[in-house]
Structure 1
């Protein structure tokens, strides 16, 4: 039902009979969304192959002789 107001304003007033078919359409859309969500959940997830564990590389140590550190100690002379 349309109501014409002065100043070229027109408001559309919905009656209960007009809103009932819209509600049923909205309910159907909501149900369709729910079923689409369920269908998405049923999709199987492919598993990614796991990587094989790798061995730690052996540490290469150079053959170097370590020189001992000379400790300088003060010599106390007794009279």
Structure 2
């Protein structure tokens, strides 16, 4: 953490939120991922898309600081899947 300023971290998380919104609003990307069977629904009926929706919903309404820390890692999945 000593190598990052508060502004750098805010930029990182705001960019992550923007990335999540871009994926969620791009039907072509979502359809392509679905066609390639990259999206999985777990036993308790949650998929990668649901986690992405949660990031966007919470982040857009309340800000990145309110997004569950565990959800951010899904953006790495989408980065490599795309």
| TM-score band w.r.t. shorter chain | under 0.3
Q: TM-score, normalised by structure 2?
A: 0.21
> Greater RCO between the two (CA within 8 Å, min separation 6)?
2
Q: Identify, as 1 or 2, the structure richer in helix.
A: 2
